[in-house]
Structure 1
Amino acid sequence: MNAKTKTSLVILMGFLAITSCGKKETAPAEESVEVNESTAETTAPKTEENVLVIEGNDQMQFSTNELKAVAGKPIKLTLKHVGKIPKEAMGHNLVILQEGTDQAAFALKANDAKATDYIPESEKASIIAHTKLLGGGEEDTIEFTIDKKGKYPFLCSFPGHVAMMKGILIVE
């Protein structure tokens, strides 16, 4: 490892240590959203079962490790990076893989795929869908359909994140 890489890692680790410690921010209690029945019906129709939202943060964590969807119906998945660190240092994406995919082998190949935002070209057949690589404050929504019931692994393919940022999409 060269000196530049070591210095970058030390700076990143120090920044992570500082930002992950301390008081968590919470939204003020007096903020409320007024919803009337006509608005609720037009913005969130009851027929949209497969609307999923997941967050990634600066502590390399997804907000959940389990998502559920109905087979054969379109899935609308939104990934929100709720942290503040830019994607070059703490990028997050969400990659949904085919059942049976070797996640560790996929992650190793992803480490070398910086040019394609850590989505390895050689593994396209293993990928059902994926979001863009996001930095703090960004979000991305993808739409796809899975016809077959099953348990599909998902992960963040940014180098080193798969150890903590993974889960299962259960399609019933």
Structure 2
Amino acid sequence: MIRTKHVASLLVLGALAAFANTAAAAECSATVESNDAMQFNTKALTVPKSCKTFTVTLKHVGQLPVTAMGHNFVLGKTADIAGITADGMKAGAAANYVKAGDARVVAASKLIGGGGSTTVAIPVGKLKAGEAYTYVCTFPGHSSIMRGTLTVK
């Protein structure tokens, strides 16, 4: 009898731990959708400082090809976004419109077209609470519309 109660307690504790791990993983990830109308469906992301890595899945729910309506997810300090975007345009499509080795870029995804998806890992240790961060699409002409804020809490 005591053994059965002990096993049942262990099962309950195991289920609670699995639930806690799933909840923690959910807090450390987000999905952002983009479309053929040059829009992100999410204008703000909050990253818990307890996360080691924050993962963003970018989904392109449109139908246009990457050459016509490609989207990416590029994160940097808000003050650096104009420079990141300008240098990304110079880098071109082959570089996903992100300058190689750009230290201002905290994280960047590859460029995707309609129906595609990609994932980008943001190292939370590189982010500072209280700093203003912006994410944009650096495809030419998109960054003025396709943008959002990222906050660490």
C-alpha displacement of 1:89? 0.6
Pick the aligned partner of 1:45 from 10, 19, 22.
Answer: 22
What is the alpha-carbon distance in structure 2 between the residues aligned to residue 79 and residue 133 of structure 1? 10
1:143 alignment counterpart: 121
What is the alpha-carbon distance in structure 2 between the residues aligned to residue 162 and residue 99 of structure 1? 12
1:77 alignment counterpart: 56
What is the alpha-carbon distance in structure 2 between the residues aligned to residue 134 and residue 117 of structure 1? 9
1:109 alignment counterpart: 87
**Deviations 1:64-118 (CA, angstroms, capped at 9, x unpaired):** 11111112412011000000000001000000013531x2232222212113121
Contact 1:151 1:171 survives alignment (8 Å): no
Does 2:148 match 1:167? yes
2:72 alignment counterpart: 93
C-alpha displacement of 1:144? 2.6
Moved more, 147-156 or 61-70: 147-156
What is the alpha-carbon distance in structure 1 between the residues aligned to residue 22 and residue 50 of structure 2? 18
Query: Mind listing any 5+ residue stretches in structure 2 that lack a counterpart?
Result: 1-14
What is the alpha-carbon distance in structure 1 between the residues aligned to residue 83 and residue 47 of structure 2? 26
1:67 alignment counterpart: 45
The residue identity in structure 2 corresponding to 1:106 is: I
What is the alpha-carbon distance in structure 2 between the residues aligned to residue 99 and residue 112 of structure 1? 20
Give the aligned CA root-mean-square deviation in angstroms. 1.9
Does the C-alpha gap of structure 1 residues 171 and 79 become closer, same or farther in structure 2, counting only changes over 3 Å? same
Contact 2:28 2:47 survives alignment (8 Å): yes
SS of the aligned residue for 1:140 comes to strand
C-alpha displacement of 1:53? 0.7
* Percentage of matched positions with identical amino acids: 35
SS of the aligned residue for 1:107 comes to helix
C-alpha displacement of 1:152? 1.1
* Larger CA Rg, structure 1 vs 2: 2
TM-score of the pair, normalised by structure 2: 0.77
SS of the aligned residue for 2:24 comes to coil
SS of the aligned residue for 2:121 comes to strand
| Length, aligned pairs only | 130
Does 2:137 match 1:156? yes
C-alpha displacement of 1:58? 0.1
Moved more, 142-151 or 55-64: 142-151
